[in-house]
Amino acid sequence: MNMAETELMNALRGRWLLDEPMARHVSWRAGGQAKRAYVPADLDDLALMLRGLPSDEPLMFVGLGSNLLVRDGGYGGTVVFTHGVLSRIALVDERAVHAAAGVASPKVARFAAMHDLVGAEFLAGIPGTVGGALAMNAGCYGGETWRIVRDVTTLARDGSLRVRKPSEYQVGYRHVSLAPEHALQQEWFVAATFELDAGSGTEARARIRDFLARRIATQPLGKPNAGSVFRNPPGDYAARLIEACGLKGRRIGGAQISDKHANFIVNLEGARAADIEALISLAQQTVMVKYGIGLECEVRVVGEPA
């Protein structure tokens, strides 16, 4: 680190954590350590931290860790924790809600309904944060995140902020990428404005309750999990394919393909990241052999094996 980078780092107001166990920060409650982690004081502090990092430093933003597996050997870069820090949510106008990246997606659904705005109810079924929902175009119950995005705010590696429109992105099913003509450097989502319709908050809250009841009835929420592990292939469902292969309930170590929903892998007790990853590979290989279909992961797997 050069002198300028050192001076920037000395001006920071957030907290550094060394060798931070990522099992504390991912919903699977499994995995290795991050070499360094940073809890920013606010967005300005985060921008300052990014400007001081070496340009080749691996960097990862983590909200609720509901779509992430860190291998047992750990992550050799810097992790930024956004949940509870980038937490502002507010009305922009009579049809729009602005939410920072660290806001839990269900909170956006409830906030919109409270202000008689409809169209965000599906977000109640997404267990992560706004940042994660934007990064993967998260969706459920017929809704998708980017269908309601008016604009996003991004933070670049050099600490600069930009407001971007959906037209600047290539958006698909569980996929989002900045169009090549706009991708000058690495950027992360730090906020979004969601454009919604005026409607009945009472009816919106009823839909939210219905979505949550359906989640409880169909998903293994009593054990640590990361939501749906695989994207649904065109015209089919990953859970159906996995179950049809006889893998529902299959266990490796402390991890299990859920016996309640086959597209979920749960941490029964003391699972290692390697156990979870082995079940991911088993499901992919078995479905490919039997059906010739390649299951694509929704979850992000990072780091090094133990």
At residue 3 the predicted structure's pLDDT band, cuts being 50, 70 and 90, is: low
Residue from 174, 250, 272, 277 carrying the catalytic annotation: 174
How far apart are the C-alpha atoms of 17 and 22, rounded to whole Å?
11
Tokens 């965000």 sit at which residue? Answer: 120
How far apart are the C-alpha atoms of 151 and 179, rounded to whole Å?
15
Residue from 20, 228, 250, 272 carrying the catalytic annotation: 228
pLDDT tens figures, 53-94: 988 999 999 999 999 999 999 999 999 999 999 999 999 999
Answer whether 164's CB lies under 8 Å from 59's CB: no
Residue 143 has pLDDT above 90, yes or no: yes
pTM of the predicted protein model: 0.92
**Model pLDDT, residue 180:** 84
Answer whether 67's CB lies under 8 Å from 26's CB: no
Q: What is the DSSP letter of 298?
A: S
Question: How far from 42 is each of 80, 103, 155, CA to CA, in Å?
Answer: 12, 13, 13
**Model pLDDT, residue 260:** 97
- Interval 127-149 mean pLDDT: 95
How far apart are the C-alpha atoms of 135 and 125, rounded to whole Å?
16
**Model pLDDT, residue 66:** 94
**Model pLDDT, residue 10:** 80
At residue 5 the predicted structure's pLDDT band, cuts being 50, 70 and 90, is: low
Neighbour order of strands in the sheet with 89-93:
89-93, 96-100, 187-195, 149-156, 161-164
Closest CA to 34 of 44, 24, 45, 46: 24
Answer whether 138's CB lies under 8 Å from 176's CB: no
How far apart are the C-alpha atoms of 164 and 174, rounded to whole Å?
19
CB atoms within 10 A of CB 164: 17
* Cross-strand partners of 172: 175
298 is catalytic: yes
Tokens 């009823």 sit at which residue? Answer: 206
Q: Is 74 left (phi over 0), alpha (psi -120 to 50) or beta?
A: left
- For residue 179, what are its two tokens? 């169009």
- For residue 221, what are its two tokens? 């929420």
**Model pLDDT, residue 112:** 98
Q: Which of 24-38, 168-182, 220-234, 278-292 has the lowest mean pLDDT?
A: 168-182
**Model pLDDT, residue 166:** 97
For 212, list phi and psi in degrees, rounded to 5.
Answer: -65, -40
**Model pLDDT, residue 182:** 75
Average model confidence (pLDDT) for the chain?
95
pLDDT tens figures, 170-194: 999 999 999 888 777 789 999 999 9
Tokens 């290692």 sit at which residue? Answer: 272
177 is catalytic: no
Going 204 to 218 to 279 to 252, the CA torsion angle's sign is: positive
**Model pLDDT, residue 55:** 86
167 is catalytic: no
How far apart are the C-alpha atoms of 79 and 86, rounded to whole Å?
15
